[in-house]
Amino acid sequence: MRRSIILSLALLSFSLCTNAQSPNTDPIDKTLNDCLNDPKNKDIQMQTGCMAKAFIAWEVKIQDLRDSIKLIAEPEDLLLINSNHKEWQEYYETENRLISTELSKDISDSSKIKYFKYMILFARRRAADLEELIERRK
């Protein structure tokens, strides 16, 4: 029950983040919203494909941001930055296992969409943290 509440809160947070139309909407989210709202993608399998592409795009963005940080960070800061990222990666993988375990009880296509929503939420947050770090370094 507790896990269901936590997953529901995470999903609500994701919905609030993706439904809020702001001028600073990330291009990944815009592409995802366009894909999900495309009449050709009303099928749940097509929507799952949209979510999977967005998830991959967020992971690529995180790696690109990390590469940018390596170019501007002082050498002595890189150890701390890399350590921080390793801790985040462990947290991310733990959450991935938790969500996968919880959703594995439901093998429907809608559970796949929920999975990608949660993972995009985590990836989006990490990208925002890395972007903030880059801004502070400028």
Q: For the segment 40-78, what is each residue's pLDDT rounded down to a tens digit?
A: 988 888 999 999 999 999 999 999 999 999 898 888 888
Helix 109-137 to helix 75-103 angle, to the nearest 10 degrees? 170
pLDDT at 20 over 50: no
Name which of 106, 109, 120 is nearest 3 in CA terms. 106
**The domain containing residue 77 runs over which residues?**
2-137
The total number of structural domains in the chain stands at 1
CA angle in degrees (0–180, nearest 5) for 83-88-93: 125
pLDDT at 8 over 80: no
